[in-house]
Amino acid sequence: MRFLFIESFFQGSHRLFAEGLAACSSHEIDILSMPGENWRWRMLGAALHVVEAIPSLEPYDGLIVSDLFNLSDFKALVGQPCPPVMAYFHENQITYPQPPGDKGAFQLGIINISTALAADQVVFNSCFHQNAFLKAVPEFLNRGRDFRPGNIVRKIQKKSNVLYPGITLDEKKTTRAHRQTQPPLIIWNHRWGFDKNCETFVEAIEALEAKGLDFRLALMGENFGKIPEAFERAGRQLKTKILQYGYVTERPEYETWLQKGAIVVSTALQENYGMSMVEAMIMGCAPLLPNRLAYPEILPEAFHGHFLYNHKHDLVEKLTTLVADFQPCETILNQLAMEMRSFLWPNVVKEYDNSLEKLAAREIYSRE
């Protein structure tokens, strides 16, 4: 079968997902993309551009769009019969934490809801995300002053499902190669954004420094605007320990840093799956993850006691233990890496192909 993937924000996890699905699916998937920048304008206006740039939809058995796209506008304006559509939700603007003073989120939340209603399939990247979105929709709509719509959650839930995104990594690379454990290399491979909570991470690193522990840092991840104050401070005060400062654009180089890493840390305020953490775990890094969001779902339960933390003090204590003596955890990390390989694209793509086949046949999930 043949599908068209419309990705209005072709960057980061959105790009990796689209390219990975297209490369591994047994079906033919074409990608129509826009650069990964100006994300708010992409949600508001990308459909207006795409309806002019779109090829004939006649050859396609179905379409795939992501959450940063206004599917309702597209279907209203495309001017030709529209094949059935899968809307894949990496995130949503209803539950997404907004920076202080941001007043533009309401309209973006409405776009997410209308996209879910206009889609034939709604796919979330975790059960946590699906549950959080469906729970938040009624409260969000109740903010309207009158004529509040009803039965929205049931309509979306009936056609929704969860499919974990596949992970793209070079399987020929070993998890133990080049690992730097003396002193341990601590990896930060998340966006330098408000929702990733850089401040708490840097405070934990400063606590290690105050204890006189030796370690190294690789501060990677994309940065679309001003460098967070916490990372500016780290760049000044910890510069002798920083081996990498800034986004690594080339994928092979990024994977090499994951090979070198001993520890990877998340302090996220928002995370519906955690692709960068899964990548690092597959490559053998010891993860430290907050005991909330999607992480307890994604991390196998047998490893919760080792690698989930409950608050900042707990993070500092577990980080201190790993940095002071990393060797005892290497065996369990090999076990974790093997289990996390279940997220690699070859191991998940069949579920996507099955869903796409149902989409093309208009066999909707119909979950009661």
pLDDT single digits (tens) 125-142: 999 999 999 999 999 998
The mean pLDDT of 274-291, rounded to a whole number, is: 97
| 210 CB neighbour count, 10 Å cutoff | 9
pLDDT single digits (tens) 156-174: 999 999 999 999 997 676 5
CA distance 246 to 232: 11
Q: What is the pLDDT of residue 104?
A: 66
Quickly tell me which residue has 């974990």 as its tokens.
164
pLDDT single digits (tens) 145-158: 788 888 999 999 99
Q: What is the pLDDT of residue 19?
A: 98
The mean pLDDT of 62-75, rounded to a whole number, is: 98
Q: Return the bridge partners of 309, or none.
A: 290
In the predicted model, is pLDDT for residue 87 greater than 70?
yes
The mean pLDDT of 8-20, rounded to a whole number, is: 96
In the predicted model, is pLDDT for residue 274 greater than 80?
yes
Sequence-distant (6+) residues with CB within 8 A of 69 are 6, 7, 8, 42, 43, 46, 47, 50, 87, 115
In the predicted model, is pLDDT for residue 175 greater than 80?
no
State the average pLDDT for the chain.
Answer: 93
In this prediction, residue 223 has a pLDDT band, given cuts at 50, 70 and 90, of confident
CA distance 291 to 297: 10
Domains of the chain: 2-166+345-360 (3.40.50.2000), 185-343 (3.40.50.2000)
